[in-house]
């Protein structure tokens, strides 16, 4: 199967994937694939790409304005209510498949590289917009599920034991798994004190921080000794 990818019959596939405008979606698709691999391995937080529209202490005003503009754009397109990582992954996958198909059938009729680039601009814009609209329809029925899940988690897991799943947990980074009687939950956690936890450490979720959507934790040993 893999040998077929090296034959001359696959040259158009590589050419389309590496040429404008498909190459933009190709790069984004590769980024999403590696991101999810790293997230599963616990090297990055699963929702590391999500936007935090709250105001951080000392945050720059222009950065906040940019986030508000992005939030408004996502809301207008109907891309709110689910993790941005899911939105980006869906837009990228749909965009890559659509752009590849359009270029495959259209570009043979376009003479010259310059004209291909010119024609590629409206193709990219149109495919990007279409992908966003399709993604908005896909995630619409998912919004209540994420909202209900967030509310359920916030009410029921404070005080429970979590197992660190990332390489570390400190005051700025980390995730832990919490047993919920099912497949388990993955939540963002931050150390309550200036301590650092390693993968596999047992921690107690002390309180929920609504601004950062995180749980402050201490070690299970310290919790039991208090």
State both tokens at 102. Answer: 């359009």
List the helix and strand counts (H, then E) for the chain.
7, 7
In this structure, the strands spanning 185-191 and 214-219 are parallel
Q: Which of the residue ranges 59-63, 180-184, 208-212 would you say has the lowest mean pLDDT?
A: 59-63
What's the N-to-C CA distance of the chain in angstroms?
Answer: 60
Tell me the mean pLDDT in the region 52-65: 45
By the 10 Å C-beta count (0-12 exposed, 13-18 middle, 19+ buried), 115 is classed as: exposed
State both tokens at 129. Answer: 């917009």
Task: Please name the residue that has the structure tokens 């956690």.
Answer: 189
pLDDT single digits (tens) 16-40: 999 999 999 999 999 999 999 998 8
Confidence at 41, pLDDT banded by 50, 70, 90: confident
Average pLDDT, the chain: 82
Domain range annotation of the chain: 3-151, 158-225
Instruction: From residue 44, give the alpha-carbon distance in Å to each of 20, 151, 195.
Output: 30, 24, 19
Does residue 193 carry a pLDDT above 50?
A: yes
Which pTM value belongs to this model? 0.74
- Give residue 184's pLDDT: 74
Distance between CA atoms of 81 and 83, rounded to whole angstroms?
Answer: 7
- The CATH-assigned architecture of domain 158-225 is Beta Barrel (2.40)
């Amino acid at each position: 199967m893999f040998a077929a990818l090296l034959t001359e019959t696959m040259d158009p596939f590589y050419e389309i994937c590496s040429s404008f405008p498909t190459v933009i979606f190709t790069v984004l698709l590769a980024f999403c694939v590696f991101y999810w691999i790293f997230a599963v391995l616990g090297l990055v937080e699963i929702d590391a790409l999500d936007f935090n529209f709250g105001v951080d202490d000392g945050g720059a005003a222009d950065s906040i304005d940019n986030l508000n503009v992005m939030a408004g754009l996502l809301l207008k397109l109907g891309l709110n209510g689910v993790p941005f990582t899911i939105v980006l992954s869906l837009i990228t996958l749909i965009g890559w498949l659509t752009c590849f198909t359009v270029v495959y059938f259209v570009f043979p009729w376009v003479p010259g590289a310059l004209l291909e680039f010119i024609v590629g601009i409206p193709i990219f814009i149109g495919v990007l917009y279409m992908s966003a609209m399709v993604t908005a329809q896909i995630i619409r029925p998912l919004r209540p599920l994420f909202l209900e899940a967030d509310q359920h988690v916030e009410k029921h897991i404070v005080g429970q034991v979590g197992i660190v799943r990332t390489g570390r947990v400190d005051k700025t980074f980390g995730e832990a798994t919490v047993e919920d009687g099912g497949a388990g939950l993955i939540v963002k956690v931050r150390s309550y004190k200036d301590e650092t936890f390693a993968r596999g450490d047992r921690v107690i979720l002390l309180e929920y921080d609504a601004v950062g959507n995180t749980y402050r934790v201490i070690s299970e040993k310290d919790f039991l000794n208090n």
